[in-house]
């Protein structure tokens, strides 16, 4: 039987209720891989990769959606700080799981920029694409802004992630950026 796998790449910088609103609509997939960006293709400033993976693990636990799993594939593929493209990730996944039906999930920020993706036309030819905008308009930018300005974040993410982010010595947010 062919496994249906949704691939949801994001900076998860940090995971928000906006991410949650996308993931809740992916329950029909056998597996949903959450892939934190290792080295962002467009040079986004992000907190430490391992810290973001810890946050994603806690986020998954809080959501209690059985098909969700963290994937560190980008870290495995990394060569220094070279950006890792979606095309490379999907190609590697297809190589690792040849019988899988892969669907690349685009959030609202990536949907608007999809034409800028490396090999975007090949992605469309080889894999399914699912544009899945968030239904809750809470972005990672909102979390970072509230953290930097010492405001509450409990209404912007899941409980465990909020508690983890309250340990501001571990997660550094020195600046806010508009992209997620």
Write the DSSP assignment of 150-164 as a string of letters: T---TTTS-HHHHHH
Sequence length of the chain is 180
Span 95-148, pLDDT tens digits: 999 999 999 998 767 777 888 888 999 999 999 999 988 899 999 999 999 988
Span 24-36, pLDDT tens digits: 999 999 999 999 9
Which of 28, 29, 27, 8 minimizes the C-alpha distance to 89? Answer: 8
pTM confidence score: 0.89
What count of other Cβ atoms lies within 10 Å of the Cβ of residue 105? 24
């Amino acid at each position: 039987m062919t496994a249906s796998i949704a691939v949801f790449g994001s900076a998860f910088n940090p995971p928000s209720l906006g991410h949650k609103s996308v993931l809740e609509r992916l329950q029909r997939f056998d597996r949903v891989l959450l892939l934190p960006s290792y080295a962002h293709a467009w040079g986004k400033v992000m907190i430490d990769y391992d810290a973001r993976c810890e946050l994603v693990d806690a986020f998954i636990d809080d959501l209690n959606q059985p098909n969700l799993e963290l994937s560190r594939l980008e870290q495995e593929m990394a060569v220094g700080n070279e950006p890792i493209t979606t095309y490379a990730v999907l190609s590697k996944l297809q190589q690792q799981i040849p019988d899988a039906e892969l669907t690349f999930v685009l959030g609202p920020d990536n949907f608007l920029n999809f034409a800028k993706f490396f090999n975007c036309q090949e992605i469309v030819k080889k894999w399914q694409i699912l544009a899945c905008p968030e239904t809750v308009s809470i972005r990672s930018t909102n979390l970072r802004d509230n953290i930097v300005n010492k405001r509450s974040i409990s209404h912007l993410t899941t409980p465990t992630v909020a508690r983890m982010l309250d340990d501001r010595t571990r997660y550094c947010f020195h600046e806010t950026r508009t992209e997620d």
